Structure 1
Amino acid sequence: MVFIKINSIYFAIMDFNTLPDPHDLIYFQEIARTQNLSRAAERLGVGQPTLSLSLKRLEETLAIQLFVRRSRGLELTIAGQRLLRECNGLMDSWERIVSETRKSKTELIGRFRFGCHPSVGIYTLGPNLKSLMSQYPGIEIELQHGLSREICEGVISGKIDFAIVINPIEHPDLVIHRLAGDEVGFWRTKRGVEDVLIYNPALSQSQNLIKKIRQPFARTMTSDSLELMATLADAGVGTAILPSRVVKAIAPKLIRVFEKHRFLDEVAFVYRVDLPKTAGSQCIVDQFKSLKI
C-alpha cells in the first residue's frame, strides 16, 4: 500500500507492484493442502524448484513468512492461515466473475447501441423492437440518431453496434445486409402553395433533385426534420422533398409531383465485421438482417 498526501490528507492507494502472480496463489493453496513441497509439485504437475521459487516470490511480495518447517512437513504461520482463508474466498470470487462474464456469450443478455436516422426508425424499428424486447428480457437498447453517413461512421469506429442506414458506402469493416429500396421525390397536396420548396439541405438526395428540376421555386423553407417537412407539406405549406416511405408513414395523402425526378435509395442493416459474437448480438443480427419493410 502506498500513501500520498493531498491538502494535508493522506490517501491510501494500491501499489500494483505488490500484486502477486495468480499462479503463486494457486501454488500456495496446494502447498497448504498437502503440507509438502514435493507432493504439491507432483499434484500440480510442476517441478519442486518451480514451486519453491513461487513460494519465495510470494513471501517476498507480501514481506512475511507463510510457512515454518516441522518434522512432519510444512506448517502455516498465522499470516499464512489468514492468507489461505482470503485466498480461498478470492478464488471463489474469481470463479464467479468468470462464470458471470461468460454468460454474455451464451445467454441472451446485453446492452447494445443501435443507430438510425429518426425518420428511418419510424418505419423500421417499431414491430421489430417490440418482438425483440418481448422475447428477450435481458436485452437493452440504446438508440442513437443522426444522418445515415454519421451513423455509418459510428459503426465503423465502434461507437455504434448496429444500424439501419440509407445508402451505406462499401467498407472492409462493414457487414451490409440490404433490406429494401426507397425513392426520394417531390410531394405536396393538391391545393398546396406551389412556389415554396421545403427540403433538408444536409441531404445529398435533396441537392441532387434540386439540380435536376427545371421549374424553379420562388421561395424555400429548410428543416432537418423529415417528419416536420411531411407535416408541413400535408398542411399545404409547399412542396417537400421526401422519401416515399416517410410519406407513407407520416402523410399518406400527399401526392407525388415532377414524377420523373426521383432519387433511388437503399435501406440497409449494418454492423462491424468483428462484432463480438454473443448470443445477444446474434439474436439482433437474426432479427434485423432479413427485416421486411
Structure 2
Amino acid sequence: MGTRRRAYRHSSDGHHPAALLREVARLGSMSAAARALKVSQPTLSVAVRQLEESLGATLLLRHRGGVSLTAGGAELLRHAEEVFAALERATAAVAGLERDLVGSYVLGCNESLGAYFLPRFLPGFLREAPQIALTLHNANSDDVLRAVVEREIPFGLVVNPTSHPDLVILRLCRDAVDLFVAAPPDAPVPAGAALYGPAGCFTADLAVAAALLRDRPLIVAGRVHQCTWLIDQLAEHDMVPRRLLSCGDFELVKSLALAGVGPAILPRRIAAYHHEGRLRRLHAELPIFPDDISLIYRADMPKTRAAMFIKDALVRCGQQMPDVGVP
C-alpha cells in the first residue's frame, strides 16, 4: 500500500507525477521537459523513476534522440489525459457557479405562505434565470427552518422564525392572523389597506359578531399556534365559540369560509389572495396575531452569483407584497 500511495504523491515542486510524464512525452526530452516545468532535471528524473517503481513498469525508453513512451507509459498517459480533462471540466463548472446564473437550488416554503407568495415570485424568476434549476420543498415553518439549519436546503420562506446563531433572517413583509367571515356577494370592497380597517369589517356591532360566533361553527386550522392563541383571547372577551370546526390547513379553512359555513381564523394574506374582499374581518376590535414573513438561509451559505440572485429576488418580491394593514 505504501508504494501505491507514493505513485499519486505530488513531487516537491507541486506537479503531479502524471503531469510530469505528459510533459516529457510531449517534448521527447527530459532536459526540455525540466525547463518547461521549471524544475531541475535530477528532480524530474527522480519523480519519473519513483512513478515507474511504484507501478512496477517501465514508462520511458531512453535513447540517443531523447525519450519516448513505452506501451505501459502510453496507457498510463491515456488514462491520465481523461483525468486531466475531467478536472478541467470540473474547474470550469465550479468557476461557472461563482460567475454565472447556473446551479440547482431548493426553496423550502411554508405550505399556505407558498400559495400566495410563489405565484407572484416564480414567473419573473424563471424568466430572468432560466438556467437556475429551482425545486420546491413544502413543509411547515419549523420543518423548513430545521432543514435550512441542517443544510438539507439552502433557502426557506417561513412564518415567525425562531432565532438561530447559524441563520440569517430577513423579514420580507408582515401579516396577521385574524377572524374572517364571508361577505354578501354585492357588498362594496374598500380599496387596499382600508379593507382591514373598521369600514371594511363585516359588522361594526360587537354584539352581532359575538352572536355569529355563538350561532355558527368557528373554522380553524387546529394545529396552528396562532389559532389556539386567538381562541383563548376570545374566551377572555367572553366570546367563546359554541362550536369549533378544526381542519388540517388554512386552505381548507378558507374554502369552507368562502362557502359560508361559518367565521374562520385566517392570515390576512391567505384570506385575500384570489378573493380580495370576499372574506371580511369580522370586527375591528377583535384580537389579531401579528406574523412576520421571513426569508432564512445559513450565514455560511456559499455566496455564488446564483444564490445571491435568488436571495435578492425573494427579498424584492416580499417587499413588493400588497399592504394588508398590519401596523
Pairwise TM-score range, normalised by the shorter structure: 0.7 to 0.9
Q: Tell me, in whole angstroms, the C-alpha distance in 1 between the residues paired with 2:143 and 2:61.
A: 66
**Alignment partner, residue 208 of structure 1:** 229
Q: Tell me, in whole angstroms, the C-alpha distance in 1 between the residues paired with 2:81 and 2:146.
A: 47
Change (3 A) 1:109 1:179: same
Q: Tell me, in whole angstroms, the C-alpha distance in 1 between the residues paired with 2:86 and 2:278.
A: 62
Match of 1:61 among 48, 54, 65: 54
Change (3 A) 1:180 1:93: closer
SS in 2 for 1:211: helix
Q: Tell me, in whole angstroms, the C-alpha distance in 1 between the residues paired with 2:137 and 2:7.
A: 41
Match of 1:158 among 151, 161, 171: 151
Change (3 A) 1:153 1:93: closer
Change (3 A) 1:34 1:240: same
Q: Do the aligned residues in 1 keep the contact of 2:172 with 2:293 (CA within 8 Å)?
A: yes
SS in 2 for 1:289: helix
**Alignment partner, residue 217 of structure 1:** 241
Match of 1:103 among 96, 103, 107: 96
Q: How does 1:44-123 map to 2 (within 5 A)?
A: 44-123=37-116
Q: Tell me, in whole angstroms, the C-alpha distance in 1 between the residues paired with 2:126 and 2:279.
A: 34
Match of 2:217 among 196, 200, 222: 196
Change (3 A) 1:19 1:220: farther
Show CA shifts across 1:113-165 (max 9, x none).
11112211122111321001012210121111111122111111111221221
User: Shift in Å at residue 50 of structure 1?
Assistant: 3.4
Query: 2:280 is matched by which residue type in structure 1?
Result: I
Please say which of residues 53-62 and 268-277 is displaced more in the overlay.
53-62
**Alignment partner, residue 177 of structure 1:** 170
Match of 1:128 among 121, 124, 128: 121
**Alignment partner, residue 206 of structure 2:** none
User: Shift in Å at residue 87 of structure 1?
Assistant: 3.2
Query: 1:285 is matched by which residue type in structure 2?
Result: K
Change (3 A) 1:85 1:250: closer
Query: 1:255 is matched by which residue type in structure 2?
Result: R
Q: Do the aligned residues in 1 keep the contact of 2:57 with 2:72 (CA within 8 Å)?
A: yes
Query: 1:282 is matched by which residue type in structure 2?
Result: M
Is residue 20 from structure 1 mapped to residue 20 from structure 2 by the alignment? no
**Alignment partner, residue 3 of structure 1:** none
User: Shift in Å at residue 198 of structure 1?
Assistant: 1.6
User: Shift in Å at residue 85 of structure 1?
Assistant: 4.0
Q: Do the aligned residues in 2 keep the contact of 1:115 with 1:151 (CA within 8 Å)?
A: yes
SS in 1 for 2:164: coil
Match of 1:272 among 279, 293, 298: 298
Q: Tell me, in whole angstroms, the C-alpha distance in 2 between the residues paired with 1:190 and 1:274.
A: 48
Q: Tell me, in whole angstroms, the C-alpha distance in 2 between the residues paired with 1:98 and 1:21.
A: 21
Match of 1:229 among 253, 256, 281: 253
Q: Tell me, in whole angstroms, the C-alpha distance in 2 between the residues paired with 1:120 and 1:19.
A: 56
The alignment's TM-score, normalised by the length of structure 1, stands at: 0.85
User: Shift in Å at residue 223 of structure 1?
Assistant: 1.5
Match of 1:254 among 279, 292, 295: 279
Q: Tell me, in whole angstroms, the C-alpha distance in 1 between the residues paired with 2:144 and 2:38.
A: 53
User: Shift in Å at residue 230 of structure 1?
Assistant: 0.8
Q: Tell me, in whole angstroms, the C-alpha distance in 1 between the residues paired with 2:266 and 2:278.
A: 13
Q: Tell me, in whole angstroms, the C-alpha distance in 2 between the residues paired with 1:173 and 1:88.
A: 42
Structure 1: 5+ residue runs without aligned partners? 1-15
Aligned residues: 278
Q: Tell me, in whole angstroms, the C-alpha distance in 1 between the residues paired with 2:22 and 2:150.
A: 45
Show CA shifts across 1:157-187 (max 9, x none).
1112212211112222212221111110111
The alignment's TM-score, normalised by the length of structure 2, stands at: 0.77
Query: 2:313 is matched by which residue type in structure 1?
Result: Q
Q: Do the aligned residues in 1 keep the contact of 2:174 with 2:292 (CA within 8 Å)?
A: yes
SS in 1 for 2:316: coil
The alignment yields a C-alpha RMSD, in angstroms, of 2.4
Please say which of residues 94-103 and 176-185 is displaced more in the overlay.
94-103
Larger strand fraction of residues: 1
Q: How does 1:231-246 map to 2 (within 5 A)?
A: 231-246=255-270
* Aligned residues with identical type, % of pairs: 32
Change (3 A) 1:35 1:246: same
